[in-house]
């Protein structure tokens, strides 16, 4: 391939003027101009000479340009021929793959036949076992008791039945798999055949497209440069979008850090709330410290509210940031859609190139076929020429022998000479046609080389476009992956935001409850302080009165009894007040204990809530998985329905084709019978031809003997004796010609009839093969089996759907039960707290009863002076020394 191209380039280089010769001409021109400058009489000659030199320089430049163009075209022709050769190799490889696939299909059909035989055997064993089981069931229904051996045999039969059923299921699955493989192989072979046809069509189209390819090449290079520019722009856009995505990921990470910081602050706030609860306990032990702690708590509450507002602002900022990221994601999706459109355009361009390649391949195969036909025609023409030359040589010999014969034979010789001239003219025509065919073959070979190089170039372009498409697909896949990751991160942030918001609401609710409790306790403390102040004032007043009464005891004995009663009443009131203070202190400690228990209970309930949430998540994932499985089953069911409908349509189509082929078979058989009736006389005609040929041979032998006798006469005067008896030779020759014409016509008829019979036999064999390939009753039985299995599968799917609905209902029941148990737990807790309150009230009432009974037991004791060592209560009811 390279040698003729180099030879042509050398020839092209030899065609042009050499650069050294042109430089020599240029020097001569300059010298002559210098010589002609001084002479004014030669000015016109100098102008004409300069014009001639300019024309020569222009022709030299155009010659160089044309030579470069010819070299470029020669290179393109060589590359196209290489492409055409590669396309031919690809078509041969496709033929090999088709043959290999047909062998694999035959193997698969053999495996299917073996599996069908095994399935038939398994069905027979199953039927026999079913009959045995039915017999045993009848025996059971009749009431006959089983012996141990019979029970063992029944169990053994059931076990064998289950094993055989399993084997049948396995065989059915294998058969289905084999059929799927066969269908896949058939589709693959059909696809390969379609690709082969497309390649052949492309070869044919290459012959037409080779003229316009030179012009289109420049346009394609421009388009390629344009596409490369667009690809570079897209890559830059992708890089910028990647940078933006990275920036958004960093912003998302910073938002996550801020969210973690807010969660840490929330935990810190929880700790501060717990500290405030401990401060409340200290407030109960110390009123002044409690007031300070309350002030601090108010300040911290205000600060917490400010922090909560700041957190809300941060959350609003996070929401705005998330919305911006969503907008960016939508922009990226739009860019991705634009990229997909460009990818589709590139794919369409690739399909156009592939179609052109297929057209070129088809053109090459047609050219090869035409070459083969031309070679066959040439061989046939050579054979005819050789036979005609042999006949002419024989006729020459016959003319030389017949020249000595009669004038009638001279006329025959003239006719034969004319025939020879006609044959020679035909031979010359055939030779010219053969030369034309050789030229065409050479031109077609050159075109084939061009097409090969063009197909090579197109295949390289196709590979480049495929690689670019793969790169673009990878970039798109990375973009999708990053987009999915961003969506997952966004969902996680939303979940964290929801959790923080729920925690904030919970803590704000707890804070409000704590504030209400603090206000209630403050109100109770105020009431107690007020009561204690009143009691102190009463005690001071009473002590003063007692002191004055004691001083004036001697003077006012009449009022002593009344004063003593008043003092006893006051003493009992003081005792009751002390008891009430002690009871209040005990109740306060109990309330602290109850608060601690409530905190522990709250923590336990929180843990239970977390466990319930985890169980809810697990049940939700299981439910989603069940829904996915159900969707998959529905999808499989729809696929099976579609395949069944397709199989039914194909079966109906095959039935129609069988009917059409049967009618065609009947028509062909009828035509065959008619042809058999027409060819019934072939044997008699053959016998007549044979008889005529034998008579012709005899006559030729007789003519030969007569000619030899005429050349070497035994009796020179014999013609005088036979003058009156010999028939006219011209009549005999004419009779021979008529007989030859009849013989030729009959032989042509016989050949036509034989060709017609062969064609009919060929049609008959093709029809027979088509009928043998058509599906029989076994396919209908298999279709029934498939329909039954499909019904069974649909029943199983319905059962699975019912089970899924039951499981969903059970999940709902479990949820309802969980909620009911939670409500019962809350009601039990409420009852428990009410019982605790009742118990404390009962104990308090018992303590009050005891306190009321204690002073009444010793009415004679009058506490005039208080004990200095005894604890006294002042202020908020706390003991002071």
At 430 the pLDDT is 67
pLDDT at 2 over 60: no
| pLDDT band, residue 749 (cuts 50/70/90) | confident
Percent of the residues in the chain that have a pLDDT greater than 90, as a whole number: 0
- Residue whose pair of structure tokens reads 């009911």 in the numeric block: 820
- Strand (E) or helix (H) holding 664: helix 560-678
Q: Give me the pLDDT at residue 694, please.
A: 84
pLDDT digits (tens, 9 = 90+) for 829-850: 888 888 888 888 888 888 888 8
User: What is the C-alpha radius of gyration for the chain, rounded to an integer number of angstroms?
Assistant: 60
pLDDT tens digits, one per residue of 393-440: 666 666 566 656 656 656 765 776 677 677 777 777 767 776 777 777
Task: Output 407 or 653, whichever has higher pLDDT.
Answer: 653
Cβ atoms of residues 356 and 217 within 8 Å: no
Q: What pLDDT score was predicted for residue 89? A: 76
Q: What is the pLDDT of residue 224?
A: 60
pLDDT of residue 782: 75
Q: What is the pTM of this model?
A: 0.21
Q: How confident is the model at residue 870 (pLDDT cuts 50, 70, 90)?
A: very low
What is the torsional sign of CA 475, 479, 484, 486? positive
Note whether 340 and 66 are within 8 A (CB): no
pLDDT at residue 552, rounded to an integer? 67
Range 806-824 average pLDDT = 84
Over residues 611-629, the pLDDT tens digits come to: 877 887 888 788 888 788 8
Residue 179 confidence (pLDDT): 73
At 679 the pLDDT is 64
Per the CB < 8 A criterion, the answer to whether 449 and 1 are in contact is yes
Lowest mean pLDDT among 136-150, 195-209, 857-871: 857-871
SS3 for 344?
A: helix
User: Residue 286: how many CB atoms within 10 A of its CB?
Assistant: 13
Nearest alpha-carbon partner for 354 in 218, 450, 461, 452 = 461
Highest mean pLDDT among 294-303, 309-318, 467-476, 679-688: 467-476
Find the range with the poorest average confidence among 346-350, 477-481, 639-643. 346-350
Q: What is the mean pLDDT of residues 713-734?
A: 59
Instruction: Using the structure block, give the residue that is written with the tokens 């407030």.
Output: 283
Predicted pLDDT of residue 375:
64
Mean pLDDT of 818-835: 86
The answer on pLDDT for 722 being more than 60 is no
Q: Which residue has the higher pLDDT, 705 or 129?
A: 705
C-alpha span between 121 and 167 (Å, rounded): 11
* Residue in this structure with the two tokens 């306190």, named with its chain if needed: 851
Query: For the residues 803-812, what does the mean pLDDT come to?
Result: 82
């Amino acid at each position: 391939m390279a040698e003729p191209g180099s030879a042509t380039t050398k020839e092209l280089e030899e065609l042009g003027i050499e650069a050294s010769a042109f430089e020599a001409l240029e020097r001569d021109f300059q010298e002559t101009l210098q010589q002609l400058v001084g002479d004014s009489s030669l000015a016109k000659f100098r102008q004409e000479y300069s014009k001639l030199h300019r024309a020569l320089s222009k022709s030299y430049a155009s010659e160089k340009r044309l030579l470069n163009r010819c070299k470029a075209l020669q290179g393109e022709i060589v590359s196209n021929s290489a492409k055409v050769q590669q396309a031919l190799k690809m078509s041969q490889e496709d033929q090999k793959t088709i043959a290999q696939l047909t062998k694999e299909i035959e193997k698969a059909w053999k495996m299917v036949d073996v599996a069908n035989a095994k399935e038939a055997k398994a069905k027979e064993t199953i039927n026999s076992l079913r009959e045995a089981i039915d017999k045993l069931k009848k025996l059971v229904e009749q009431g006959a008791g089983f012996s141990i051996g019979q029970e063992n045999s029944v169990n053994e039969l059931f076990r064998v039945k289950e094993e055989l059923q399993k084997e049948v299921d396995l065989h059915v699955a294998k058969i289905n798999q084999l059929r799927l493989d066969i269908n896949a192989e058939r589709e693959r072979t059909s696809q390969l055949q379609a690709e082969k046809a497309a390649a052949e069509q492309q070869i044919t189209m290459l012959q037409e497209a080779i003229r316009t390819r030179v012009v289109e090449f420049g346009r394609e290079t421009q388009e390629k440069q344009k596409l490369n520019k667009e690809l570079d722009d897209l890559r830059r856009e992708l890089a910028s979008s990647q940078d933006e995505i990275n920036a958004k990921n960093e912003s998302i990470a910073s938002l996550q850090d801020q969210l973690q910081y807010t969660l840490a602050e929330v935990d810190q706030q929880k700790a501060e709330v717990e500290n405030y609860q401990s401060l409340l306990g200290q407030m109960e032990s110390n009123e002044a410290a409690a007031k300070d702690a309350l002030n601090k708590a108010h300040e911290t509450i205000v600060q917490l509210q400010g922090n909560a507002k700041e957190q809300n602002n941060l959350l609003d900022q996070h929401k705005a940031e998330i919305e911006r990221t969503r907008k960016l994601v939508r922009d990226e999706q739009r860019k991705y859609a634009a990229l997909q459109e460009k990818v589709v355009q590139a794919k369409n361009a690739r399909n156009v190139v592939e179609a052109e390649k297929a057209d070129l391949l088809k053109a090459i195969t047609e050219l090869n076929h035409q070459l083969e036909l031309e070679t066959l025609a040439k061989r046939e023409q050579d054979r005819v020429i050789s036979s005609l030359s042999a006949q002419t040589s024989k006729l020459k010999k016959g003319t030389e022998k017949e020249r000595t014969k009669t004038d009638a034979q001279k006329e025959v010789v003239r006719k034969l000479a004319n025939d020879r001239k006609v044959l020679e003219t035909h031979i010359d025509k055939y030779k010219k046609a053969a030369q034309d065919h050789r030229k065409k073959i050479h031109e077609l070979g050159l075109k084939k080389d061009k097409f090969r190089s063009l197909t090579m170039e197109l295949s390289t372009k196709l590979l480049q476009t495929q690689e670019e498409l793969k790169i673009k697909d990878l970039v798109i896949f990375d973009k999708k992956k990053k987009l999915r990751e961003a969506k997952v991160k966004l969902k996680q942030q939303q979940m964290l935001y929801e959790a923080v918001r729920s925690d904030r609401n919970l803590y704000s609710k707890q804070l409000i409850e704590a504030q209400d409790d603090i206000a209630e306790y403050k109100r109770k403390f105020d009431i107690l302080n007020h009561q204690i102040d009143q009691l102190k004032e009463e005690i001071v007043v009473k002590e003063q009165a007692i002191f004055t009464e004691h001083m004036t005891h001697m003077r006012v004995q009449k009022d002593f009894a009344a004063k003593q009663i008043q003092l006893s009443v006051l003493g009992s009131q003081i005792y009751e007040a002390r008891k009430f203070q002690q009871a209040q202190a005990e109740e306060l400690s109990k309330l602290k204990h109850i608060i601690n228990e409530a905190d522990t209970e709250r923590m336990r309930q929180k843990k239970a809530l977390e466990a319930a949430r985890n169980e809810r998540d697990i049940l939700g994932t299981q439910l989603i998985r069940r829904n996915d499985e159900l969707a998959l089953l529905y999808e499989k069911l729809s696929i099976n329905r579609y395949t069944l409908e397709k199989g039914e349509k194909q079966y109906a189509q095959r039935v129609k084709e069988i009917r059409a082929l049967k009618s065609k078979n009947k028509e062909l058989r009828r035509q065959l019978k008619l042809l058999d009736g027409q060819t019934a006389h072939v044997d008699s005609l053959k016998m007549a031809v044979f008889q005529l040929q034998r008579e012709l041979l005899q006559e030729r032998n007789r003519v030969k003997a007569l000619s030899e006798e005429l050349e070497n006469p035994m009796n020179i005067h014999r013609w005088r004796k036979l003058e009156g008896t010999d028939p006219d030779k011209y009549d005999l020759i004419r009779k021979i010609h008529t007989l030859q014409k009849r013989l030729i016509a009959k032989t042509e008829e016989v050949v036509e009839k034989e060709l017609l019979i062969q064609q009919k036999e060929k049609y008959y064999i093709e029809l027979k093969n088509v009928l043998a390939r058509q599906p029989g009753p076994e396919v209908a039985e298999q279709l029934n089996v498939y329909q039954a299995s499909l019904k069974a599968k649909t029943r199983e799917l319905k059962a699975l759907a019912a089970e899924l609905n039951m499981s969903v209902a059970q999940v709902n029941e479990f949820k309802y039960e969980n909620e009911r148990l939670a409500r019962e737990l809350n009601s039990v807790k409420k009852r428990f707290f009410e019982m605790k309150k009742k118990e404390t009230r009962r104990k308090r009432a018992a303590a009050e009863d005891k306190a009321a009974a204690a002073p009444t037991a010793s009415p004679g004791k009058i506490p005039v002076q208080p004990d200095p060592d005894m604890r006294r209560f002042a202020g908020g009811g706390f003991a002071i020394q």
